[in-house]
């Protein structure tokens, strides 16, 4: 949801900025821009569309200067056009912004009344004009910057430069931002990936912090203007993990990484005994059984929570409430004492999920919160009482794959741990389930070693006007996820439905051009799912069956069957997820869409 970068260095920064934007293009890709300072002037290049367009422009007309900022955009206010691309600027100030300035309309009117001439339709452009206006009446530069920030309502991460100084300004409120440094320079960025190649140390700015840097010193302050300390940490090794070769797309690479991720997770949290350890969530060890668990997330992460509800409720016998974050935070939820809040997020920065967590903490500060997250330094991690890290490695493809199954697997381990701890499962059963999870890692590997198996599905979608995914029990959220994956990258309408609910409406859609994907696993009401399969088959649907049944048990006249290894109550969804991901990937490739950066989407949704 927009990536921002700023750099002040001993050498020209254009290529550093450009490289950083490349690594953050997953955050937004409808326009991009760079602004540098040289000879006391701001120099800007912007281009609509993918970053390659900006790159081409810069090849022809490069930008000089050792101080600069850059931005890759996912539009919120204003269509994706050059005029709305960042940096936004006055003659003397340029700013890049991630987030939303909620009072932009009021600010714009006030600034226009005093002579500001806006060039874009964005909320962000109010920032440089406001900063300039404040500076006209305030000689203390730090105070002027803080006064500017104090007049902004909403969420932001900002980097800014001025034409007459070698200083990089920055602020973080509600959107992620980090500082990084090396002997060659100081950087600010939305994501550590952006500066992994040039910086050796990193500091994740805390909520409300702001400051400025020259080449020698970094100065940071809290929201009240009090000086704060920068606690540098070593930059984690991450560059190699972000290369996609030899795969054609990041999504394909990430699908194939899953067996390795499964093993990493299993080795991190199990030790050959029935005792599962979550070292960053130690409160679990001594906590009494909660009366209720609330799970909140968005998109794919929401689907994993829906699956975990089946696991947790069966063994713990406590209510597990699952909600979409944007609904939870506005529905005046009733939260009693002794309730745990679980948030799930690949990025840890999704605005609605983060705000849901904050609401929970405000309402019941004594209750515990736990986040399942792939980014260890993210806002959700910092604001939760415990973390279960996903260990999936950077996920670049906008469509989540390995983070999804990593969430499923960690949730399975979490469910087993609680079942064991609260005496709902004995040692032997826990061990058997852990072994089944290890077997699922092998099963996933075997499935992915024969990717051609999935090719037979693609032709069934050549004339399709949509598709329906059906499942029961934990296969119902899998159906939701299969449908989400297909629609987000192939742009084909797809719906996930509980198989038993299908006859209450969606069955009317069935015809020969609406392929129906039935997920039928032994663990979850197999006979009933097969009855539902016959119901759609009788109405002329083309059926794709994803199943762990034996070949001789398969109903007749199925158009395509994907056999997966048999899993147990916890491991089966991990295996069934893979053909659904591959199906979406193959259909998208067949349609020629942009798999890794599908239209209108962004990887990290940091605005509500």
Instruction: Enumerate the active-site residues.
Output: 2, 603
- Report the nearest approach of ligand AGP to the CB of residue 302 (Å): 7
What does the H/E/C string look like for 119-138? CCCCCCCHHHHHHHHHHHCC
Decide: helix, strand or coil at residue 70: strand
Q: Which stretch binds ligand AGP (CB under 6 A): 114-122, 171-179, 346-354, 463-471?
A: 346-354
Residue 37 makes contact with ligand AGP by CB under 6 A: no
> Apex CA 376: angle with CA 370 and CA 380, to 5°?
45
- Report the nearest approach of ligand AGP to the CB of residue 392 (Å): 11
DSSP run (H or E) holding 262: helix 258-269
Q: Which stretch binds ligand AGP (CB under 6 A): 233-241, 342-350, 364-372, 575-583?
A: 342-350
Residue 606 makes contact with ligand AGP by CB under 6 A: no
Number of neighbours of residue 383 by Cβ within 10 angstroms:
16
Query: Is the Cβ of residue 354 or residue 536 nearer to ligand AGP in the bound state?
Result: 354
Query: Is the Cβ of residue 40 or residue 330 nearer to ligand AGP in the bound state?
Result: 330
- Report the nearest approach of ligand AGP to the CB of residue 373 (Å): 8
Q: Bridge-partner residues for 401, per DSSP?
A: none
Q: Which two tokens stand for residue 229?
A: 């300390």
Cα 10 from chain centroid? 34
DSSP summary character for residue 401: S
What does the H/E/C string look like for 267-296? HHHCCCCCCCCCCCCCHHHHCCCCCEEEEE
Supply φ then ψ for residue 374, to 5 degrees: -95, -10
Taking each helix axis from N to C terminus, what angle separates 475-490 and 299-316, rounded to the nearest 10 degrees? 180
Residue 398 makes contact with ligand AGP by CB under 6 A: yes
Decide: helix, strand or coil at residue 69: strand
Whether residue 264 contacts residue 374, with contact meaning beta carbons closer than 8 Å, is answered with no
Euclidean distance between CA atoms 361 and 329, whole angstroms: 12
Q: Which stretch binds ligand AGP (CB under 6 A): 48-56, 102-110, 347-355, 560-568?
A: 347-355
DSSP run (H or E) holding 149: helix 141-150
Whether residue 188 contacts residue 168, with contact meaning beta carbons closer than 8 Å, is answered with yes
Q: Which stretch binds ligand AGP (CB under 6 A): 138-146, 157-165, 207-215, 397-405?
A: 397-405
Euclidean distance between CA atoms 214 and 193, whole angstroms: 22
User: Cα Rg for the chain, rounded, in angstroms?
Assistant: 25
Residue 605 makes contact with ligand AGP by CB under 6 A: yes
Residue 270 makes contact with ligand AGP by CB under 6 A: no
Euclidean distance between CA atoms 177 and 157, whole angstroms: 6
Strands 67-73 and 3-9: antiparallel
- Report the nearest approach of ligand AGP to the CB of residue 604 (Å): 6
Residue 350 makes contact with ligand AGP by CB under 6 A: yes
Number of neighbours of residue 113 by Cβ within 10 angstroms:
8
Residue 514 makes contact with ligand AGP by CB under 6 A: no
Q: Which stretch binds ligand AGP (CB under 6 A): 25-33, 230-238, 394-402, 423-431?
A: 394-402
- Report the nearest approach of ligand AGP to the CB of residue 185 (Å): 30
* Cα end-to-end distance, the chain, whole Å: 11
Euclidean distance between CA atoms 399 and 404, whole angstroms: 10
Euclidean distance between CA atoms 101 and 255, whole angstroms: 37
Query: Is the Cβ of residue 12 or residue 496 nearer to ligand AGP in the bound state?
Result: 496
Strand order in the sheet with 3-9: 41-48, 31-38, 67-73, 3-9, 185-189, 178-182, 201-204, 233-234
Q: Bridge-partner residues for 154, per DSSP?
A: 101
Residue 346 makes contact with ligand AGP by CB under 6 A: yes
**From 345, 367, 379, 606, residue interacting with ligand AGP (rule: CB under 6 A):** 345
Q: Is the four-CA dihedral 131, 135, 137, 139 of positive or negative sign?
A: positive
- Report the nearest approach of ligand AGP to the CB of residue 350 (Å): 3
**From 347, 405, 415, 606, residue interacting with ligand AGP (rule: CB under 6 A):** 347
Q: Which stretch binds ligand AGP (CB under 6 A): 124-132, 238-246, 272-280, 293-301?
A: 293-301
Residue 367 makes contact with ligand AGP by CB under 6 A: no
Per-position x/- string for 575-604, each x denoting binding to ligand AGP as judged by CB under 6 A, each - no binding? --------------------------x--x
- Report the nearest approach of ligand AGP to the CB of residue 488 (Å): 6
- Report the nearest approach of ligand AGP to the CB of residue 485 (Å): 7
- Report the nearest approach of ligand AGP to the CB of residue 168 (Å): 28
Per-position x/- string for 295-314, each x denoting binding to ligand AGP as judged by CB under 6 A, each - no binding? ---xxxx-------------
Q: Which stretch binds ligand AGP (CB under 6 A): 122-130, 214-222, 292-300, 517-525?
A: 292-300
Query: Is the Cβ of residue 126 or residue 604 nearer to ligand AGP in the bound state?
Result: 604
Query: Is the Cβ of residue 148 or residue 346 nearer to ligand AGP in the bound state?
Result: 346
Number of neighbours of residue 289 by Cβ within 10 angstroms:
15
Strands (E), 235-385: 292-297, 320-324, 339-345, 368-373
**From 488, 495, 548, 596, residue interacting with ligand AGP (rule: CB under 6 A):** 488
Residue 399 makes contact with ligand AGP by CB under 6 A: yes
- Report the nearest approach of ligand AGP to the CB of residue 397 (Å): 8
Q: Which stretch binds ligand AGP (CB under 6 A): 333-341, 344-352, 439-447, 497-505?
A: 344-352
For ligand AGP (CB under 6 A), the number of binding residues is 16
Strands 31-38 and 201-204: unpaired
Residue 378 makes contact with ligand AGP by CB under 6 A: no
- Report the nearest approach of ligand AGP to the CB of residue 349 (Å): 7
**From 122, 133, 400, 606, residue interacting with ligand AGP (rule: CB under 6 A):** 400
Residues that bind ligand AGP (CB under 6 A): 298-301, 345-347, 350, 353, 398-400, 488, 601, 604-605
């Amino acid at each position: 949801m927009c990536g921002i970068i700023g750099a002040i260095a001993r050498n020209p920064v254009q290529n550093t900025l450009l490289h950083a934007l490349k690594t953050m293009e997953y955050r937004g890709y409808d326009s991009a821009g760079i602004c540098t300072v040289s000879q006391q002037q701001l120099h800007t290049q912007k281009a609509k569309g993918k970053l390659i367009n900006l790159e081409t422009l810069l090849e022809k007309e490069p930008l000089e200067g050792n101080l600069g900022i850059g931005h890759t955009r996912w539009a919120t206010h204003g269509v994706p056009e050059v005029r709305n691309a960042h940096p936004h600027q006055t003659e003397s100030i340029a700013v890049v912004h991630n987030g939303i300035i909620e009072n932009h309309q009021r600010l714009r009117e006030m600034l226009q009344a005093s002579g500001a001439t806006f060039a874009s339709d964005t909320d962000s452009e109010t920032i440089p004009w406001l900063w300039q206006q404040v500076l006209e009446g305030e000689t203390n530069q730090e105070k002027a910057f803080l006064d500017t920030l104090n007049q902004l309502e909403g969420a932001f991460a900002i980097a800014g430069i001025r034409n007459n100084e070698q200083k990089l300004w920055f602020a973080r409120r509600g959107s992620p931002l980090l500082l990084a440094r090396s002997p060659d320079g100081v950087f600010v960025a939305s994501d550590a990936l952006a500066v992994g190649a040039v910086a050796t140390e990193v500091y994740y700015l805390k909520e409300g912090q702001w400051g400025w840097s020259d080449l020698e010193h970094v100065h940071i302050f809290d929201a009240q203007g009090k000086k704060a300390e920068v606690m540098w940490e070593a930059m984690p090794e991450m560059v190699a993990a972000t290369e996609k070769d030899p795969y054609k797309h990041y999504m394909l690479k990430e699908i194939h990484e899953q067996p390795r991720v499964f093993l990493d997770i299993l080795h991190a949290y199990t030790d050959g005994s029935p005792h599962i350890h979550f070292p960053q969530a130690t409160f679990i060890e001594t906590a009494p059984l909660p009366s209720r668990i609330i799970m909140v997330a968005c998109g794919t992460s929401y689907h994993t929570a829906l699956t975990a509800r089946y696991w947790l409720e069966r063994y713990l016998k406590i209510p597990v409430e699952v909600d979409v974050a944007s609904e939870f935070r506005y529905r005046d939820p009733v939260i009693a004492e002794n309730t745990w809040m679980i948030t799930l997020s690949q990025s840890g920065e999704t605005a609605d999920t983060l705000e849901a967590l904050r609401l929970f903490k405000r309402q019941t500060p004594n209750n515990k919160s736990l986040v399942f997250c792939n980014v260890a330094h993210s806002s959700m991690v910092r604001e939760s009482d415990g973390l279960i890290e996903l260990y999936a490695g950077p996920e670049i493809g906008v469509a989540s794959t390995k983070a999804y199954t990593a969430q499923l697997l960690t949730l399975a381990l979490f469910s087993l741990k609680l079942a064991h701890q609260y005496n709902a499962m004995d040692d032997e059963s826990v061990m058997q389930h852990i072994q089944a999870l290890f077997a699922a890692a092998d099963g996933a590997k075997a499935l992915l070693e024969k990717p051609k198996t999935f090719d037979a599905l693609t032709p069934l979608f050549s004339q399709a006007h949509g598709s329906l995914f059906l499942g029961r029990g934990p296969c119902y959220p899998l159906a939701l996820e299969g449908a989400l994956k297909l629609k987000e990258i192939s742009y084909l309408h797809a719906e996930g439905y509980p198989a038993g609910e299908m006859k209450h409406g969606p069955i009317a859609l069935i015809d020969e051009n609406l392929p129906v994907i039935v997920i039928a696993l032994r663990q979850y009401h197999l006979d009933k799912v097969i009855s539902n399969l016959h119901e759609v088959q009788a109405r002329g649907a083309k059926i794709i069956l994803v199943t762990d049944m034996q070949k001789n048990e398969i109903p007749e006249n199925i158009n395509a069957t994907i056999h997966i290894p048999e899993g147990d109550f916890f491991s089966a969804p991990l295996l069934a997820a893979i053909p659904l991901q591959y199906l979406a990937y193959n259909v998208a490739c067949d349609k020629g869409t942009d798999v890794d950066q599908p239209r209108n989407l962004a990887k990290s949704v940091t605005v509500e």
